[in-house]
Amino acid sequence: MVARARSMIPTLLKTHETMVLTSWMKSQVTAGSLRSGQMKEDELKDQSERFLREFVHALESGETNDISGATWSSVRDLLAEVSRSRAAQGFSPSQTATFVFSLKEPVFTLLRDEIKDDAAKLAEEMWTATTLVDKLGLYTTEVYQLRRDDIIKRQAQELLELSTPVVQLWDKILALPLIGTLDSERTQTVMENLLNSIVHSGAEIAIIDITGVPTVDTLVAQHLIKTVSAARLMGADCIISGIRPQIAQTIVHLGLQLDVISKATMADAFALALRRTGQVVNRAQTKPT
């Protein structure tokens, strides 16, 4: 319905570019885009200018309904860039969307001033403008959301890697301090890390310390047993340490069979590991026994 009569918006925008830009900038500033100080006015102005230019350019093609086409690709790219950088700078979604939505006011003012006498024409152009800006605004929000999702995914990945370190304690002895709840995915990572470290370091004993594991239920126990079994298949023995009193009680109440050597503290486990591997640590100036 809109594309039938060629829209006047691009021509109007082109002739009044400076005015629109100034009033758009003003409404953006009052909307608080700069308030939090994450962004300089020059940058905002540059972005706005570029957007307006691309916007007019895309409008001139006459395609005003569908912004997913090739004509709108440069506008989309620019918006994607803007919302990505804003997501990274810590803007809120509404602040990011305001960048586009605040364009409505100057455009509407312009239309009202220019097409005063033809109400039907005015309504039609208004409609064109508002649907377009809405679509672009929604697109901005979408990109923003995607970017945030990326950030969250990356953080989850980092957390996963950070939380499963394998430490070489001594010759042939590894320690695996577990922190946080064990789910299937983490168990997989833990297992892979542990087994690869066993191969690299030629360890014979791995101490799995569960001091940082908040609860041990049947599932966690199952995962622990899997890890221990896998290590045993590689020829390394496991010792589980750091079982807190409550957890010991839970294990018994649940009737879990851990079937592994367990020690209350890491120190006990380490002492046992040293004994098993035939190593002795002595105090200085004491005769070795």
Partner 1 sequence: MEQIPILKVGRCLLVSIQIDMHDKLAMALQDDLTQKLVETRARGVLIDISALDLVDSFIGRMLSNIAAMARVLDAQTVVVGMRPQVAITLVELGLTLPGIQTALDVDRGLALISKLMDEPEGDRGARGAH
Residues 82-121 that bind partner 1 (CB under 8 A): none
Asked whether position 226 contacts partner 1 by CB under 8 A, the answer is yes
Asked whether position 277 contacts partner 1 by CB under 8 A, the answer is no
Asked whether position 192 contacts partner 1 by CB under 8 A, the answer is yes
The pair of three-digit structure tokens given for residue 277, joined into one six-digit string:
């591997």
User: Which of 167, 234, 248, 267 contacts partner 1 by CB under 8 A?
Assistant: 234
Asked whether position 153 contacts partner 1 by CB under 8 A, the answer is no
What is residue 103's DSSP assignment?
T
Asked whether position 204 contacts partner 1 by CB under 8 A, the answer is yes
Residue that is written with structure tokens 């191969």 in the block: 199
Query: Which of 25, 206 has the CB closer to partner 1?
Result: 206
Continuous H helices in 61-205? 73-89, 93-101, 104-114, 119-162, 184-201
User: Which of 156, 199, 254, 264 contacts partner 1 by CB under 8 A?
Assistant: 199
Query: Which of 158, 192 has the CB closer to partner 1?
Result: 192
User: Which of 54, 125, 209, 237 contacts partner 1 by CB under 8 A?
Assistant: 237
| 35 Cα distance to chain centroid | 25
Query: Which of 119, 233 has the CB closer to partner 1?
Result: 233
Single out the residue of 199, 208, 201, 207 nearest to residue 171, CA to CA.
201
Query: Which of 195, 251 has the CB closer to partner 1?
Result: 195
Contact indicator for 160, 261 with CB cutoff of 8 Å: no
d(CA 119, CA 107): 16
C-alpha distance from residue 201 to each of 133, 138, 153, 196, 204 (Å)? 60, 53, 31, 9, 9
Contact positions vs partner 1 (CB under 8 A): 188, 191-192, 195-196, 198-199, 202-204, 226, 229-237, 261, 276
